[in-house]
Structure 1
């Protein structure tokens, strides 16, 4: 139990159903959907659609998504890959011949074909009750009538790295009066409202064919992009087999590559050989082991993870006990490693949604435009902000993650699912681009090794190794920071909070749900 004399929030507890998101309007929309007879998948898609309007810097229908789903909370965990692919004309030779040394972070060449809308429609057809029109109704209302800009959204909107003025359409919609909205302002997106109406009426064809696709592809082509209407029409997500590991008796499930979820599993496998629970949960020794395990796992990530439809990834070898033992063997509890390659891991703007309904259908759902406002390219008639996932590709023809026609890039957004004895225990996720494997491991070890409830585990101060520096949030104790420095780490305060997460814990014996949402964002968990 937390100390009620300190700032913080209690976890949310209920019996029937629970939703946790990073925005109050999104959580409310999910709860309304559940109380009107929808199930967890209906609620998750509805929540994601609302956030595509009210958190435009983080996500949108021009983005991608991944989903882990456990029907009735029992049996196999299903995985759905809703990430987009490179255009058919996007060969590495084209980019090299045209003078590119890397994929840009903004503009048309940063854009892969968005996969979110196809995924939403498919998942609702396969697992929902209400359909896409019902799921989009609240989002259409907010886009048309306006929504109040919340504080973290406003904080992200004014990020100096996001220059919406470079795109005249983006500037018109997202810099009203020539400046970003501030907290408390009302913002409207009427073009997006009309696009959502078309999708509500026509389903996925309303986005990938006809006027909406023509507007988006036309804009990309005018800017020099390689996308075609055929690329959009051919977009199709697919079910995959999750990858997983066992940690202290719990099953931890992640998306397979092209997703980076395997990175968190590598970290857990390494840490499983240390008695974390005997350490100070906020001390330097625990933080150091987490950092070193992460550095090793990210090396494997950057060297090997890619779209398995194009290049084989040695998943079983990476998840083997022998590999974990090799990695663990090079960690010195008293000294930072010096020979590992430099990590340069960008943050991202993402929304993560956790929902469990009365039938215990458990959904772990993540949707993103990657960088703040993605590529910065917006459809002039549709109001669709396009993601910039293409920037994750390499232009080294020998690298597994090299760009190729129809290939998916290495993807950072990763939903998680924890199970035990064949039943779902917790859909969970931690946002934040490259930080996410660290965030998953931090959340899980806080709960499993140190007995924290989901809210305590999410609230706890975080560290992240990036660009040869340990980023330590202000909540990390001074003595822990000094202990990291004594071990050879450079430590600095991050410019932004590290990530943001949600989780819903299922207690099958008591028949209860416990929800948590990150105070680093605007959201909350609600249940009934």
Structure 2
């Protein structure tokens, strides 16, 4: 829901000048959580508690992340579930290095671009059977667990299985988004039967059970990864899509493989910021940081006109390159090294002037030869996990196979139906992906594991967190609580791929002073207000000096950071 900025300007000074906190900045919602042995931060308190209990039983950070992710699939089906994809960055203390996992699935092998063209499609529908791609979450769990796990998988899934059978109270924000999804998705077979109560979403505080998901998770815990991709679950999924106009098959599931990938980084003012390479959008955040490094943000100050103007213009440039180059590297290899090169950023920076750009072209980097939940965990041995997982568009495609208790993702919507485009639909191809985990190291040591979920907001959110921590000196909780902006309207690597021609619009969260809003408008920016598109942040910081973890959780979500 968007409103013109003028209607809300009177609220900004009140929110920005609330100076009655004993410590911290006026916008901080709470203190950081500090603990010596382990930490979990998720968007649902019960999921955080499950992860913490796993750590206390001697589980690793990966064990805790899997257990918490399973719980979120039950408790926050509006953003996650085993019908979706997963990406992760793991700091392994023993080797002193980062590992990345791309757990995204591919399009059905029997569906072609020509099929869409012959039937007059210009975009892939956002819901129903056609946008469904292979879910990569369960495969990613077992890949991560096989390398970094310690406790048995069935033990990690047991708390969620109990909650699924006995019930849990639905939290406030999740109930809100669940209610928004039901009218859109109830027409699809299996959805209303498994995700509504007499045709409505469960309300805040209502107990909710999902015995079908409990049985599915129990089977996975006992029989392993192949129970999902090659066993009875896969057979049910294949039969369901064949009966309902879809293309996802048992063979598509059986052939799925995730991929270990090397995270990529840029150095921002002495800190190494890490993301995963395409088919995700993480390197857009690195490109933005490289451009912004040439401006004196600390001198400009948080919330100043210059701070936000530079941020928006850097985003436009990075997103123009994102639209032109980001895709499945098995089909279209992105010039990753060139896109995050410092000299390339310097050339792009030269195009930023005192006025808002109306249109932005993609650059020509050197061609050297790549709705959602975010959670992070850290264990007693120094391992840390940055994990993001999603069904996309809230509750995904709406396609819920009978008796399984989960919804399939609709990531295939992200493809372009245009021959020759890097992100053009093709059989067995991974779509462009929005979900990205992040990590920051300093002098080769872990510093912050963090993420900001929320579609195209994610690279913008990552950059704002980095600036808040490094340029503006905020603590971990303040960095997430600070008011955010989101620029919309850039050229996208999805859909009809329409180029930005009007400069887009800047959504400003409550908390920025009127002078800043007016200054942006004077520079030619179209300033607007929007309810809720500013992302969901969780973070854990390793304080090496005091040998403790510091945790922070998003004040805009239902979640919690907990430690012991």
TM-score, normalisation: structure 2: 0.90
State the match for 2:415 in structure 1: 393
State the match for 2:79 in structure 1: 58
Q: Is 1:337–2:357 an aligned residue pair? A: yes
Distance change in 2, residues 1:328/1:157 (3 Å): same
Distance of 2:350 and 2:202 partners within structure 1: 51
Distance of 1:476 and 1:188 partners within structure 2: 42
Superposition pairs of residues 64-103 of structure 1, within 5 angstroms: 64-72=85-93, 75-103=96-124
Mean alpha-carbon deviation: is it higher for 473-482 or for 439-448? 473-482
Aligned to 1:110, what secondary structure does the other structure show? coil
Q: Is 1:255–2:291 an aligned residue pair? A: no
Q: Is 1:26–2:62 an aligned residue pair? A: no
Which of these residues, 474, 482, 500, is aligned with residue 452 of structure 1?
Answer: 474
CA offsets 1:141-191 (integer angstroms, 9 cap, x no match): 111111100011012112269612222421122221221111111111111
Q: Is 1:491–2:511 an aligned residue pair? A: no
CA offsets 1:408-437 (integer angstroms, 9 cap, x no match): 111000000101111111111000011000
Structure 1 segments, 4+ long, off by >6 Å, are 4-7
Distance of 2:137 and 2:190 partners within structure 1: 22
Which of these residues, 499, 502, 518, is aligned with residue 482 of structure 1?
Answer: 518
State the match for 1:363 in structure 2: 385
Gaps of 5+ in 1: 343-348
Cα deviation for residue 477 of structure 1 reads 2.4
Distance change in 2, residues 1:438/1:74 (3 Å): farther
Distance of 1:257 and 1:2 partners within structure 2: 41
State the match for 2:224 in structure 1: 203
Contact 1:118 1:237 in 2 (8 A): yes
Cα deviation for residue 479 of structure 1 reads 2.0
Distance of 1:72 and 1:5 partners within structure 2: 36
Which of these residues, 173, 186, 195, is aligned with residue 207 of structure 2?
Answer: 186
Distance of 1:445 and 1:4 partners within structure 2: 16
Mean alpha-carbon deviation: is it higher for 453-462 or for 133-142? 133-142
Distance of 2:212 and 2:545 partners within structure 1: 48
Distance of 2:361 and 2:163 partners within structure 1: 46
Contact 1:164 1:174 in 2 (8 A): no
Aligned to 1:10, what secondary structure does the other structure show? coil
Q: Is 1:131–2:131 an aligned residue pair? A: no
State the match for 1:328 in structure 2: 349
Mean alpha-carbon deviation: is it higher for 172-181 or for 195-204? 172-181
Distance of 1:162 and 1:447 partners within structure 2: 40
State the match for 1:379 in structure 2: 401
State the match for 1:37 in structure 2: 58
Contact 2:34 2:548 in 1 (8 A): yes
Contact 1:162 1:373 in 2 (8 A): no
Distance of 1:186 and 1:175 partners within structure 2: 12
Cα deviation for residue 6 of structure 1 reads 6.8
Distance of 1:308 and 1:420 partners within structure 2: 29
State the match for 1:152 in structure 2: 173
Cα deviation for residue 257 of structure 1 reads 0.4
Distance of 2:488 and 2:182 partners within structure 1: 18
Which of these residues, 440, 443, 446, is aligned with residue 421 of structure 1?
Answer: 443
State the match for 1:507 in structure 2: 543
Distance of 1:63 and 1:506 partners within structure 2: 30
Distance of 2:127 and 2:513 partners within structure 1: 37
Contact 2:124 2:413 in 1 (8 A): yes
Contact 2:79 2:372 in 1 (8 A): yes
Distance of 1:141 and 1:503 partners within structure 2: 28
Q: Is 1:229–2:265 an aligned residue pair? A: no
State the match for 2:455 in structure 1: 433
Cα deviation for residue 5 of structure 1 reads 7.6
Contact 1:63 1:369 in 2 (8 A): yes
Cα deviation for residue 487 of structure 1 reads 1.0
CA offsets 1:217-267 (integer angstroms, 9 cap, x no match): 222222211222111011111101112111011111101000100100000
Distance change in 2, residues 1:407/1:56 (3 Å): same
Mean alpha-carbon deviation: is it higher for 101-110 or for 42-51? 101-110
Paired residue total: 521
State the match for 1:345 in structure 2: none
Aligned to 1:358, what secondary structure does the other structure show? coil
Aligned to 1:364, what secondary structure does the other structure show? strand
Cα deviation for residue 482 of structure 1 reads 1.4
Q: Is 1:242–2:263 an aligned residue pair? A: yes
Q: Is 1:107–2:134 an aligned residue pair? A: no
State the match for 2:559 in structure 1: 523
Distance of 1:8 and 1:242 partners within structure 2: 32
Gaps of 5+ in 2: 1-21, 363-370, 490-503
